[in-house]
Each structure stands twice: as structure tokens, then as C-alpha cells.
Amino acid sequence: MKNSTKAAQINFALGVFVLFFGLVTIVGMFFSTSEIGSRTSLVAGLVLSLIGAGMCLKARIDQQKNIDE
């Protein structure tokens, strides 16, 4: 049980990092000089943000399961 709690904390930290990186990529979209570059940054940022948010959500659910046990 202790290892799964630690894994959930690590996954949450990684999720926050990936989410932050995705948001930075989306902001970088505004500084792109070409339309295709802007679209690429938007799609990449959205994908990274969704992955990061999913990791955070899954880690919170896992933490709740460990507390309930």
C-alpha cells in the first residue's frame, strides 16, 4: 500500500510537469511566424495538456483508493 501511494505522488508530479509543458507550448503558439507552426503548437500543446491532466486525475483517484483502504 505504501508503494502505490508513492507511485501516485510521483505520477501526480509528472502530470503537473507535462500539463505545464503543454500550456507553455500553447502559449508558444502565439509567437509562431507561420500558420502551420501555430497549428502544430496548438495540437501538441493540447495533447500534452490532456495527457498531463489525465495523469493528475488518475493519481488523485489512486490516492483516494489508498486512503480508503
**Helices 2-28 and 35-68 meet at what angle, rounded to 10?**
160
Predicted confidence (pLDDT) at residue 68 exceeds the cutoff of 80: no
Task: Output the pLDDT for position 5.
Answer: 84
Is the sign of the CA dihedral 17, 26, 28, 36 positive or negative? Answer: positive
* Structure confidence by residue, pLDDT tens digits, 16-67: 999 999 999 999 999 999 999 999 999 999 999 999 999 999 999 998 887 7
- pTM, entire model: 0.86
Contact 29, 45 (CB under 8 A): yes
Each domain of the chain, given as residue ranges in start order, spans 2-63
The predicted pLDDT at position 30 comes to: 93
Strand (E) or helix (H) holding 24: helix 2-28
- Residues 6 or more apart in contact with residue 62 via CB below 8 angstroms: 4, 7, 8, 11
